[in-house]
Amino acid sequence: MGLKHITIASLATLGAVSALGTNQKPLVDNAQPQPQISGDSSSARPLVNSEDLQATISTEALLKRAKRLFKIARLSEDEYNHPTRVIGSEGHRGTLSYIHSTLAALSDYYTLSTQEFPAVSGAVFEYRLLIDLALAESAHPMGLTPPTHHKQPVDGSLVLVSNDGCRASDYPSTVKGNIALIQRGTCPFGTKSEHAGKAGAVAAVVFNYEDGPVGGTLGTPLDDHVATFGLSGTEAAPFVARLKAGETVEASAYMDAEVKTIQTSNIIAQTRAGDPDNCVMLGGHSDSVSEGPGINDDGSGSLTLLEVATQLTNFSVHNCVRFAWWAGEEEGLLGSDYYVDVLPAEENVKIRLFMDYDMLASPNFAYQVYDARNEVNPVGSQELRDLYVAWYVEHGLNYTFIPFDGRSDYDGFIKNGIPGGGIATGAEGIKTKEEVVLFGGEDGVPYDVCYHAICDTVNNLNLTAWELNTKLVAHSVATFARSLEGFPERTLDDASIKAAGAYAKGAKYHGSKLFI
């Protein structure tokens, strides 16, 4: 699950912040899985059914995998001083090899492929913004920011930019050699940084239109980007007032940062059996943020997929099942976006639906179902939503709808006409009193206090929620692997294209980062 309000990299953190490099072709092994209908032993297996597949799910098996994953996250300790599975780290490479080797052992049942893709990775080593000789406490570097000139402090006057700084004409000539102060809103942070750079600014500061701090990402790096900070509305207000009154405010900006392109991989496993023209697809993300080991986010979803994939091998399927472990989710849905971007149209229509499983075991959980609706999402999304609802109801459990707003890997799918949905148990949001009545737990506390933090360890998992949701994942797989009867057909007609467009307009996020 991506961030709602990002805070990037404290001084010592080698935070990796990335965006997808454009126009790059996969370097290796990028083929879609080559589906084969196997005439062998699979016919001896019973056809999958929900109850039997659910019955194979146990807390013990999940917990064992979680402990293994934490050990793998510790492989990054040399480089990061703490466990993490961020892309490019030993912990992430270890995660990929764990997933890959587990599936390779099931190679009579699955066709396995890895899809390598380039990810722009940014690291901020140190930063500082001084205004009027005082440290701006709420200043945070934007993701993928370039360094200041020669990675040294640069001095200048703050120059208030007109409007929202979305047009070149908003930047007065006095910006040249100085530090642009730009209000958040209307256009992406990356556009503001670009305009500031073109106008000759030595750094840019985007201040919030709300009281709180503002963080996000510049997105795809551009040559004209300058070192860019976010600043809280509260902290910016007195300086904005002074500049409007015609006073001069001096500032000094320092950013020691680096942006580079690294290669990372998605892993895809598809059943050899089952109709290859009608695939049920599901995914979780293999990576974590740099701040912690990510055992709930998204170790839980990734391991749920691995366990369900393992248990499925004792059954036969009518429809093909395709599992995906995405990389670079935390940097902005890089892996899933890449996958859908390079998917030819004739392959796109074979994916009947995509189910996203990101954070299934939050300690102060709610049973959340993405509120996917056919009016604004590809037709079939609502049927999927209702499958989850029916399961919770049947088990005497409560559920709550959450916005389907682009915060996880379903985003690329629904933007490309593929029905999608999923379940989650909550990230940094605060549990309400009403939700405590529905789910137990504590009100006024985040669903996951260890969201994107060092304490997202094995102890952060609620095993009750995890086992239950893994059974629901098994139910979703078994149901659609067995039959897609009555589930809306895929067509690339006007209706589904329009639906995708309507969604895109309403979406607030693209994965981890606010970009606007």
Q: Is 358 near Zn ion (CB under 5 A)?
A: yes
| Minimal distance, residue 510 CB to ligand NAG, in Å | 32
Partner whose footprint covers residue 344, from Zn ion, ligand NAG, none (CB < 5 to 8 Å by kind): none
* Contact in structure between 405 and 509 (CB atoms under 8 Å): yes
Pick 52 or 277: Cβ nearer ligand NAG: 52
| Minimal distance, residue 299 CB to ligand NAG, in Å | 15
Kindly list the distances between the CA atom of residue 467 and the CA atoms of 288, 325, 386, 388, 516, in Å, as whole numbers in the listed order.
Answer: 21, 19, 20, 15, 37
Q: What's the token pair of residue 344?
A: 């030819």
Q: Is 311 near ligand NAG (CB under 6 A)?
A: yes
Pick 7 or 56: Cβ nearer ligand NAG: 56
Rounded Cα–Cα distance for residues 410 and 393 (Å): 24
Rounded Cα–Cα distance for residues 182 and 189 (Å): 10
Interface with Zn ion (CB under 5 A), residue from 194, 287, 297, 435: 297
Among 257-265, 297-305, 311-319, 333-341, the segment contacting ligand NAG (CB under 6 A): 311-319
Nearest to 377 by CA among 400, 404, 407: 404
Q: What's the token pair of residue 132?
A: 């009027």
346 is catalytic: no
Q: Is 483 near ligand NAG (CB under 6 A)?
A: no
Residue 64, H or E segment: helix 59-73
Amino acid 150 reads H
Rounded Cα–Cα distance for residues 473 and 480 (Å): 11
Pick 311 or 408: Cβ nearer ligand NAG: 311
Interface with Zn ion (CB under 5 A), residue from 298, 331, 337, 435: 298
Nearest to 102 by CA among 316, 325, 306, 312: 306
Amino acid 266 reads N
Partner whose footprint covers residue 438, from ligand NAG, Zn ion, none (CB < 5 to 8 Å by kind): ligand NAG
CB atoms under 10 Å from CB of 112, counted, come to 17
- Tell me 144's DSSP state: T
Q: Is 435 near Zn ion (CB under 5 A)?
A: no
Sign of CA dihedral 475, 436, 60, 298: positive
Pick 56 or 234: Cβ nearer ligand NAG: 56
Kindly list the distances between the CA atom of residue 69 and the CA atoms of 94, 406, 448, 469, in Å, as whole numbers in the listed order.
Answer: 9, 27, 19, 19
Q: Is 462 near ligand NAG (CB under 6 A)?
A: yes
User: The tokens 């049920």 sit on which residue?
Assistant: 280
Length of the chain: 516
Site for ligand NAG, residues 149 to 208, rule: CB under 6 A? none
Pick 285 or 385: Cβ nearer Zn ion: 285
Partner whose footprint covers residue 297, from Zn ion, ligand NAG, none (CB < 5 to 8 Å by kind): Zn ion
Pick 314 or 483: Cβ nearer ligand NAG: 314
Q: CB-based contacts of 378: which residues, under 8 Å, 6+ apart? A: 414, 417, 418, 419, 420, 496, 499, 500
Pick 398 or 483: Cβ nearer ligand NAG: 398
Interface with Zn ion (CB under 5 A), residue from 1, 17, 321, 334: 1
Partner whose footprint covers residue 409, from ligand NAG, Zn ion, none (CB < 5 to 8 Å by kind): none
Among 205-213, 267-275, 433-441, 482-490, the segment contacting ligand NAG (CB under 6 A): 433-441
Q: Is 398 near ligand NAG (CB under 6 A)?
A: yes
User: The tokens 């099931």 sit on which residue?
Assistant: 106
* Contact in structure between 325 and 304 (CB atoms under 8 Å): no
Q: What's the token pair of residue 480?
A: 């659609």
Nearest to 480 by CA among 292, 262, 234, 308: 308
Among 120-128, 199-207, 330-338, 456-464, the segment contacting ligand NAG (CB under 6 A): 456-464
The site that binds ligand NAG (CB under 6 A) totals a number of residues, namely 16
Q: Is 364 near ligand NAG (CB under 6 A)?
A: no
Site string for ligand NAG, 33-62 (x = CB under 6 A): -----------------------x------
- Tell me 152's DSSP state: S
Q: Is 397 near ligand NAG (CB under 6 A)?
A: yes
Partner whose footprint covers residue 358, from Zn ion, ligand NAG, none (CB < 5 to 8 Å by kind): Zn ion
Rounded Cα–Cα distance for residues 434 and 455 (Å): 27
Nearest to 323 by CA among 285, 367, 275: 285
Rounded to 5 degrees, φ, ψ at 150 are 55, 20
* Contact in structure between 76 and 90 (CB atoms under 8 Å): yes
For residue 448, whether the previous peptide bond is cis, meaning omega lies within 30 degrees of 0, is no
| Minimal distance, residue 265 CB to ligand NAG, in Å | 25
Pick 17 or 202: Cβ nearer Zn ion: 17
Partner whose footprint covers residue 310, from Zn ion, ligand NAG, none (CB < 5 to 8 Å by kind): ligand NAG
Pick 24 or 313: Cβ nearer ligand NAG: 313
Among 107-115, 293-301, 375-383, 435-443, the segment contacting ligand NAG (CB under 6 A): 435-443
* Contact in structure between 463 and 63 (CB atoms under 8 Å): yes
| Minimal distance, residue 42 CB to ligand NAG, in Å | 13
Q: Is 441 near ligand NAG (CB under 6 A)?
A: yes
Interface with ligand NAG (CB under 6 A), residue from 345, 396, 485, 505: 396
Question: Which residue is catalytic, options 329, 330, 331, 467?
Answer: 329
* Contact in structure between 323 and 478 (CB atoms under 8 Å): no
Please report, as ranges, the residues that interact with ligand NAG according to CB under 6 A.
56, 310-311, 313-314, 363, 396-398, 437-438, 440-441, 462-464
Please report, as ranges, the residues that interact with Zn ion according to CB under 5 A.
1, 297-298, 358
Catalytic residues: 329
